[in-house]
Amino acid sequence: MPGRVAMPKQPPGERRKNFREVALGLTPELAVAEARRCLQCKNPPCVTGCPVQVPIKEFIGLIGQGDPAAALKRIREKNLLPAICGRVCPQEVQCEAKCVWAKKGEPIAIGALERFAADHGAADAAQPGRAVASEASPAPAASTARPSRARVAVVGSGPAGLTAAAELARHGYRVTVFESLHAAGGVLRYGIPEFRLPKSVLDAELDGLRRLGVEIECDVVVGQTVTLEDLWAEGFRAVFVGTGAGLPHFLGVAGENLNGVYSANEFLTRANLMRAYEFPETDTPIRTGRRVAVVGGGNVAMDSARTALRLGAEQVMIVYRRSREELPARREEVENAEEEGIEFRFLQAPTRILGDERGQVVGLEVQRMELGEPDASGRRRPVPVPGAEEVIPVDTVISAIGQGPNPLFIRYTPGLATTAGGQIAVDENGETSLRGVFAGGDIVTGAATVILAMGAGKEAAHQIHRRLEGQL
């Protein structure tokens, strides 16, 4: 039995200097070979690991038969954003973890194959990013589609909102997505860098949604530009809220407002959404400095560190208070970061940011930690090692320690119940305290993954359908 194929990648020495996609995608030969490793299990366990139940066995079988177009069509029955999921889903803890080959350490490369189907299955799929073509767009699922034509509003165009919009459009609803920024995609636009998710891929998926009849209106802050009351008055019959975890946490240490301290959201937004890496050809500047410390151990921290490197930083460090085993980032992204020369400082917690007389960062003071007893999350709690402090000389500190719920829709929507953590409270059907208003994704769960948000958006769309059909 041949082993799992390796994803071709740009060599680390080259890619650390450009923003082009790191993972190049499987060739047709590699994809067919990998697909043929699939055992086509009678009761495939992989699908149980997928939050949106993609027919994995079936689409892989079609790739093995050399028919990526048919494979893409099968995927799209369950997942309308496969070019994105194939790239950013943490398959290693989802579908691939359930693959029978995982026991041997060589699960089928499901994510790479999903991406292959998306990139090669469309009629005009000559290049990555041309993922969606009309031929591959799904016909409305005949059994469920009834052209009720009621209007449904979706607040936020991130993974949850886009998925909800797609599902609702397939059910025949007229969907308008409202986005507060000037470009759609939410975290897929402002957060995930070009080298991991090319914007052309996102744009192609958005075009696919528009072909389903979804309208996307940017520059609208629901709550301020239009209120929920306005949406009802405009004739919307239901609302899905997927406003995400868009309120950055800062470190809570002295010096956090010095110049040179960024939230990961700000750093990535300047680079991705505002294309600050092209300054002064674009108007938004970014300051990377020579030495950069990124605090945190998740995917956002990896994205920030690797972006800083590509912007010209000489030394980029990840400062994480636990050890390698506890890193929440995808293993693949950690490996990519290490290959590119990102340094990891484990078991170090920031205690202070030092600045000069002009208010500019000059150093990050860290406290050495060791692992103690497991905490509520099951991970061993880091505890300070007395007397072990150190100052790392840096020009820039990027705080990538998580985000809270964005406050705007909640603040300006009277009667909307929230949890103790400030998230929107929903019932078992995803409906909020306001009838007809559903919510899902990070605004309900707290910061999580793209695919979980997509799962929530999809489920909410079904519940909205039930509500509007009088079944809820």
- List of E strands, 30-182: 151-155, 174-178
Cα 133 to Cα 121, 122, 138, 444: the distances in Å are 9, 5, 10, 33
- List of E strands, 142-230: 151-155, 174-178, 215-217
Residue 402 binding another protein, by CB under 8 A: no
Residue 263 binding another protein, by CB under 8 A: yes
Q: Distance (Å, rounded) from C-alpha 6 to C-alpha 383?
A: 39
Closest approach of Cβ 59 to another protein, in Å? 35
Closest approach of Cβ 254 to another protein, in Å? 11
Residue 312 binding another protein, by CB under 8 A: no
Q: Which residues of 253-288 are buried (b: 16+ CB within 10 A; e: fewer)?
A: bebbebebbbbbbbbbbbbbbbbbbeeeeeeeebeb
- Tokens (6 digits) for 135: 């031929």
Instruction: Give 266 or 326: the residue with its C-beta nearer to another protein.
Output: 266
Number of residues counted as binding another protein (CB under 8 A): 40
Residue 281 binding another protein, by CB under 8 A: yes
Closest approach of Cβ 216 to another protein, in Å? 14
Strand pairing category for 315-319 and 291-295: parallel
- Binds another protein (CB under 8 A): choice among 182, 211, 290, 466: 182
Residue 369 binding another protein, by CB under 8 A: no
Instruction: Give 3 or 359: the residue with its C-beta nearer to another protein.
Output: 359
Closest approach of Cβ 244 to another protein, in Å? 9
Binding letters toward another protein, positions 124-163, x by CB under 8 A: ----------------------------------------
Closest approach of Cβ 63 to another protein, in Å? 37
- Binds another protein (CB under 8 A): choice among 61, 185, 246, 296: 246
Site residues for another protein, 408-447, by CB under 8 A, read 408
Residue 285 binding another protein, by CB under 8 A: yes
Question: CB–CB of 72/122 below 8 Å?
Answer: yes
Binding letters toward another protein, positions 339-358, x by CB under 8 A: -------------------x
Q: Which residues of 232-248 are buried (b: 16+ CB within 10 A; e: fewer)?
A: eeeebbbbbbbbbbbeb
Closest approach of Cβ 193 to another protein, in Å? 15
Q: Distance (Å, rounded) from C-alpha 65 to C-alpha 180?
A: 44
Residue 283 binding another protein, by CB under 8 A: yes
CA atoms within 13 A on the CB side of 379: 13
Binding letters toward another protein, positions 203-242, x by CB under 8 A: ---------------xxxx--xxx----------------
User: Residue 345: which H helix or E strand, with range?
Assistant: strand 343-345
Site residues for another protein, 183-202, by CB under 8 A, read 190
Written as one string, the DSSP assignment of 385-448 is: EEEEEEEEE-SEEEE-S-EE---HHHHTSTT--B-TTSPBP--TTSB-SSTTEEE-SHHHH-S-
Site of interaction with another protein (CB under 8 A): 180-182, 190, 218-221, 224-226, 246-248, 250, 256-259, 263, 265-266, 269-270, 274-275, 278-285, 287, 358-359, 406-408
